[in-house]
Amino acid sequence: MPQNVMILATNGFEQSELEKPKQLLEEAGYQTTVVSPESGQIKGWDNKDWGSPVDVDLTLDKAKADDFDALLLPGGQINPDILRMNKDAVAMVKAFADAGKPVAAICHGPWLLAEADVIKGKTVTSWPSIRTDLRNAGANVVDEEAAVDGIFITSRNPDDIPAFTKALIDALEKDVVMV
């Protein structure tokens, strides 16, 4: 059975940061499952306007970290800001981190890592406007296309998607639980 990556998102996710890693993971033989607090479809943000809808495979209230091998957190400003205010979404991020499973967050996605209080002492990167928030959460912030520190994989923006997804695939191929 192929490894399964949870993609946790809600309305306002950055279109490319959900769709492109999802496509690359599936092309590499991984299963992906879009999980959201909402059922049905969620709508992306594409540059300066609403993007295309994406089907939700599983609602957050029915999802369990134990059923997945890794967590992917797309960015966009709207999506992670909404999710970091959702206690179940934050608990899901913490559950993956506590289980030592890869957690990959791009752009504004690392806001959820700060909210879940899992990045103290970890080296991460992000979109520039949230780097102070990450430092305040105790992280060592760098400006790299893909920062990998144990189970945490972070990237800055859509241009980093190839390196970001490769780092996540590398972590999945190790198939080692790291804490």
3-state secondary structure of 75: coil
The answer to whether residue 108 is catalytic is yes
Catalytic residue among 20, 22, 101, 108: 108
Cβ atoms of 140 and 114 closer than 8 Å = no
Find how far residue 96's CA is from the centre of its chain.
11
Which stretch of DSSP H or E encloses residue 124?
A: strand 123-124
Tell me the one-letter amino acid at 152.
F
Residue for token digits 């080296």? 123
Name the residues annotated as catalytic: 108
